[in-house]
């Protein structure tokens, strides 16, 4: 919404009076006086008229180390959710930027900024997600090649985008994918009839799970992490 319209809606001033308020330098946006009537105001910026606060809302961006057994949704009848791991004061309005299966551990992103989470999750953006994968059987020798070429998923009628497999040892590998299909990693290894016994997300784009976090812990994203999307 434009600043002049925002002020009209949030005060009793009319159009001409709002122009005057702006010209007199009585409006502050994010702490700075502005005279720009057309400035776009989103719901996360502080707006003041003289000493009166017209909008205070703040955006929140968190990374959380999801433990196994916690559901990545905001509500669940049976299991604790990732939201339950946060203090009450932070929960309001938060949603998840992507999901993990119940037993999967690792990096989850949470925010109240819908535009930001759309950038993280939109399929066209091809953001790299890196997973540590442990399998029941040794990883097939041809897996690198097959994952690189893509695997056909009949249900969605798509072929997965080129994925990179890095072997750590026979049973452990690191897989980088660029989309987020339902149970994607498990289904990719399922192509070789190989069960994924442990799955852990290490990173999403440039955001890496903080090594100082333990399962269930969270921290705010840094400005650089937020800006990376």
Burial 9-20 (b: 16+ CB within 10 A, else e): eeeeeeeeebee
Does residue number 64 form part of the binding site for ligand URA (CB under 6 A)? no
Please say which residue, 5 or 132, places its beta carbon nearer to ligand URA: 132
Please say which residue, 103 or 148, places its beta carbon nearer to ligand URA: 103
Site for ligand URA in 171-200 (CB under 6 A): 183-186, 199
Site for ligand URA in 81-110 (CB under 6 A): 100-101, 104
Catalytic residue status for 101: yes
Please say which residue, 119 or 132, places its beta carbon nearer to ligand URA: 132
Residues contacting ligand URA: total by CB under 6 A = 8
Instruction: Tell me how crowded residue 105 is: count the other CB atoms within 10 A of its CB.
Output: 20
Element (H, E) at 115: helix 114-121
What is the Cα–Cα distance from 98 to 158, expressed in whole angstroms? 20
What is the Cα–Cα distance from 70 to 100, expressed in whole angstroms? 9
Question: In terms of DSSP bridges, do strands 47-49 and 32-33 run parallel, antiparallel, or are they unpaired?
Answer: unpaired
Cα–chain center distance at 161:
21
Active-site option among 101, 113, 137, 210: 101
Q: What ranges make up the beta strands (E) of 36-128? A: 47-49, 52-55, 61-66, 95-96, 105-111
Does residue number 7 form part of the binding site for ligand URA (CB under 6 A)? no
Please say which residue, 13 or 153, places its beta carbon nearer to ligand URA: 153
Q: Minimum distance from CB of 199 to ligand URA (Å)?
A: 5
Does residue number 119 form part of the binding site for ligand URA (CB under 6 A)? no
So which residues are the catalytic ones?
101
Which residues make up the interface to ligand URA (CB under 6 A)? 100-101, 104, 183-186, 199
């Amino acid at each position: 919404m434009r600043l002049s319209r925002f002020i009209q809606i949030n005060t009793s001033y009319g159009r001409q009076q709002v122009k005057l308020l702006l010209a007199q330098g009585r409006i502050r946006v994010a702490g700075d006086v502005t005279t720009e009537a057309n400035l776009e105001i989103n719901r996360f910026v502080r707006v003041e008229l003289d000493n009166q606060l017209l909008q205070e809302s703040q955006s929140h961006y968190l990374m959380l180390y999801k433990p196994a057994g916690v559901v990545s949704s905001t509500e669940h009848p049976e299991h604790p959710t990732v939201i339950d791991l946060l203090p009450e004061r932070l929960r309001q309005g938060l949603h998840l930027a992507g999901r993990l299966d119940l037993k999967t551990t690792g990096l989850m992103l949470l925010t109240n900024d819908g535009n930001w989470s759309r950038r993280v999750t939109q399929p066209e953006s091809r953001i790299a997600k890196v997973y540590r994968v442990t399998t029941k059987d040794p990883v097939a020798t041809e897996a690198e090649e097959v994952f690189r070429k893509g695997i056909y998923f009949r249900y969605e009628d798509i072929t997965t985008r080129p994925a990179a497999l890095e072997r750590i040892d026979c049973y452990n590998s690191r897989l980088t994918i660029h989309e987020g299909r339902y149970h994607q990693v498990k289904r990719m290894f399922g192509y070789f009839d190989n069960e994924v016994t442990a799955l852990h997300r290490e990173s999403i784009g440039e955001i890496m799970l903080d090594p100082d976090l333990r399962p269930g812990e969270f921290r705010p994203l840094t400005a650089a992490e937020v800006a990376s999307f």
